[in-house]
Structure 1
């Protein structure tokens, strides 16, 4: 229990309660602030002994924070998943006293809209020319992923995995099983094939990994056993590593996956951005596991993301690992996260959308100083919000706006009262949404600021929806490896967004994933595996690896009309040449000349061939 004494001369204020004698109870302001901050402690933390005391936001001491939030759609007023997430309290009393002393700056809200400034966007969004040059004129699906996860990345994982196995086998304290004795050094190509199998496991769901290699006819998936033996897959899952254990920063809770985080954040780098958090499902023992009852996963590792509003492309992310000792005293956790993530985008005129856990007048004022436009729903009990709003009672559809320090504060009555802050909406406008009321048959109108917020804020939700549907295999893995696979999910989705922007081709996300996994396995060189069981004679099993996807020529079978039929060559047809062939591709079922047309047809995309 933390106790403190009020400073000499500090006045006591009424708490609104009475004692048994009927007298009004008086307490110091700092004690009242402390108790209100304590109300934000998550219910889950009271139930879990190993959790430390958490609070919603270090700067919210005026009153308790309700769970009413507007996330994605303002009128739904759904519970904010982030409202219950918070920062560890090192010294609540000290922060409260500091905030009470430093809150002398006056915020005078008025109807003068001249202070609002819309910063001009000066960056160049979209796919960079250097990326287009690397992809080439007709890139296949896999090149979009390999543009993100380049050869250097896979070579680094190969190096650290092999180094970790050497350390493991040399250590006298580790017990060596029969499985570990089968280890031989892995290669970058083999790790890519392992990754491709993990992707395919997300497409073909089975409750046990071993069942992917099961020979049982009713559930057999022979493709997996043709790519890699089951025991080799287990070895790679066991020893997958990303950092040198000899040079670990023991104070960094993400030390075993930090090289991957740094690499991907560097590679990921439009005018409109959205900041929100995601919860990676995890029930293991990590000190930074979060609990959120409004999330589907409930328990997990929290990712803070900046995503492009139009597509959900993740541009930057960070992982919550507990209290940050480097954070300045009195700066709320929610404010510090936004400022840290937005640093690379200062002074470029970006527009960022935030939900009501992050939004506050103080944060928006700091963002305007860095020439960043901001919009977000806000809780009425945030510090420095207009006090006039508390006494305003609006009818449905009414809106009031006040301005201060370049910020516009909106109060609009829909089904409930909605409060929004914006730094780039000068004129309060009501616009048609394109929808019609079922009751009155009249056009539904909303404030322009609300429509813009709803449009921009769905970016992180859109990405989360895709990742939840097709998550790469993460079961049976240690915590840091699960984080690695989640980051690979984000890289996959970013590659998919890039594919859509460059190719302008409509393709479902799961089809894109299957195409990439298949193309990875086509281009890699696999090692010669020693297969268990009775020795086989003849060609090595590695030659049969491509049996499921390889294309072989075959003579066109006879029909009722012709004994030796022929058809027009598909490649010649695209080149506007009428020439027939007696050979066809078994997989594609198209006629092709041997060997030139057959080879060219399967080494280029037929849709991209030039026509004469």
Structure 2
């Protein structure tokens, strides 16, 4: 078959058009290129062009086109001599602030720490919006015998009891909310019959629980308006009580949700693959300092992609102080490293091989177990690949290609310093997510914004209180479970502090009907 000959103009147009991105601007998060893809068509076109040029000219063919196709100016900027890169000098403030607000009689108080995150004025705002929402629905949708006809405005003490029940549901899971009030011997719980809150009252408060004014027809960037005020207030309190040290970890978490929702995402790398994505900036001791819900609309900074812009926005108040940001390969890129370095901040993290302007020698290198290859640019950042069970591509603005000996299950192994620092820091947010998964009060039937509220109020806030208390308390450290138990007793009062000595008789709690017996 005779191959078509391309003219110079056709070849120029072909190569210019081939640089266009065939994916939409919002597809960067999901697109995963195949490692084996090659630009076969471009290679054939260039080869045809060279052959046709040689056929048309009587002069000897020039090697320039072939050599220029293999030579990349960006590769010349990457140096083989990799030098150690020093950390930026940390000059920021760090540690617990406003200690007087969380101490009582000279000792740190767990309840005051939690009250700092969720003060009474927050609760009063919830009460106002909850009662307003209930009155609105009562006027619009009340049927003759509806439960809403008996609605009474919720009070502060009642809402605190409501909080205690939600936390308790995480400690003692049952098939449904209604099962906590059943008299059946299989589910009977004396505590729920002593707290002066019936199932009907609890479910009514849960239905009308609101955090902001009712807005109709809200679209676009305000699609998370039902929960945004609570997030902003909680995050401000998280930030004002504790300032992180020199290491910040950025990653995303998922709040499980399977319903129809515009902001629902899919992440196969997470345990809960469907849900609402939460961007977090945490410390190495699992304290959540920034919390931002993904709304489907990202604000992109000039010179950065969307993930890099997210990192900059989450950590903006912490920049210019000599800190180091640790992130995984979804967020990291060369432009982000340059941006952070210009803000007196280091970056360390894994790196995707399809990022732009990476050194080809490193990306395409075939390594054996224990081998590494690294290149450095302008003494600014290092791109390194190390092979263990698989290739690990790293970027760091504060490390060279140094290796250290670590002990693993296989014995002593030489591992890159950048990977060691990354693993040590990354576990901070991983532990936070793991702790949040234990004794979680989240339930399948909850509305999406109420799931976010429960995650913030009764998971993130409790873990943060644990970090503060264990850092300052003189006595033994408390686990998250113990803190949850203390908060349940605090919110439910004395009825949750007694010990059940006498087991109830079967006749007093059984409510079986005459038809409940099983026929033989």
TM-score, normalised by the number of residues in structure 1: 0.68
Cα distance in 2 for residues equivalent to 1:282 and 1:168:
25
Which of these residues, 378, 381, 385, is aligned with residue 407 of structure 1?
381
| Secondary structure of 1:482's aligned partner | helix
Give the equivalent residue in structure 2 for 1:214: 182
Per-residue deviation, 1:331:
4.2
| Secondary structure of 2:485's aligned partner | helix
Give the equivalent residue in structure 2 for 1:363: 336
Cα distance in 1 for residues equivalent to 2:225 and 2:271:
28
Give the equivalent residue in structure 2 for 1:262: 232
Give the equivalent residue in structure 2 for 1:498: 468
Per-residue deviation, 1:396:
2.6
Per-residue deviation, 1:479:
1.3
Query: Can you list the C-alpha shifts for 1:198-243, whole angstroms capped at 9, x where unaligned?
Result: 0000110101111101122332111112111111101101110000
Which of these residues, 168, 173, 192, is aligned with residue 224 of structure 1?
192
Unaligned 5+ segments in structure 1 are: 1-7, 14-26, 39-52, 68-102, 523-545, 553-585, 588-612
Aligned length: 449
Cα distance in 2 for residues equivalent to 1:469 and 1:506:
18
Give the equivalent residue in structure 2 for 1:341: 314
Alignment of 1:232-251 (within 5 A): 232-246=201-215, 250-251=219-220
1:271 aligns with 2:230: no
1:384 aligns with 2:357: yes
Alignment of 1:271-310 (within 5 A): 271-309=246-284
CA contact (8 A) 2:74 2:357 kept: no
Cα distance in 1 for residues equivalent to 2:215 and 2:76:
53
CA contact (8 A) 1:281 1:297 kept: yes
Per-residue deviation, 1:352:
0.9
Cα distance in 1 for residues equivalent to 2:73 and 2:124:
55
Q: CA 1:382/1:211 → structure 2, altered by over 3 Å: closer, same or farther?
A: same
Instruction: Report runs of 4+ in structure 1 exceeding 6 Å deviation.
Output: 103-107
**Cα RMSD over matched residues?**
3.0
Query: Can you list the C-alpha shifts for 1:45-91, whole angstroms capped at 9, x where unaligned?
Result: xxxxxxxx951349x8xx82669xxxxxxxxxxxxxxxxxxxxxxxx
Give the equivalent residue in structure 2 for 1:73: none
Which of these residues, 413, 419, 423, is aligned with residue 450 of structure 1?
419
1:157 aligns with 2:126: yes
Cα distance in 2 for residues equivalent to 1:301 and 1:516:
27
Q: CA 1:394/1:299 → structure 2, altered by over 3 Å: closer, same or farther?
A: closer
Which of these residues, 199, 202, 208, is aligned with residue 167 of structure 2?
199
Q: Which one has more relative contact order, counting CA pairs under 8 Å at least 6 apart?
A: 2
Alignment of 1:317-336 (within 5 A): 317-324=291-298, 326-327=299-300, 331-336=304-309
Per-residue deviation, 1:262:
0.5
Give the equivalent residue in structure 2 for 1:508: 479
Cα distance in 2 for residues equivalent to 1:106 and 1:409:
12
Which of these residues, 376, 398, 419, is aligned with residue 393 of structure 2?
419
Per-residue deviation, 1:363:
1.0
Per-residue deviation, 1:9:
5.9
Q: CA 1:159/1:108 → structure 2, altered by over 3 Å: closer, same or farther?
A: same
Alignment of 1:42-57 (within 5 A): 54-57=26-29
Give the equivalent residue in structure 2 for 1:579: none
Give the equivalent residue in structure 1 for 2:489: 518
Unaligned 5+ segments in structure 2 are: 1-7, 37-71, 240-244, 503-520
TM-score, normalised by the number of residues in structure 2: 0.79
Query: Can you list the C-alpha shifts for 1:460-503, whole angstroms capped at 9, x where unaligned?
Result: 21111111122123332211111111112111111111121111
Per-residue deviation, 1:305:
0.6
Cα distance in 2 for residues equivalent to 1:161 and 1:229:
18
Per-residue deviation, 1:279:
1.1
Greater Cα shift, 380-389 or 242-251? 242-251
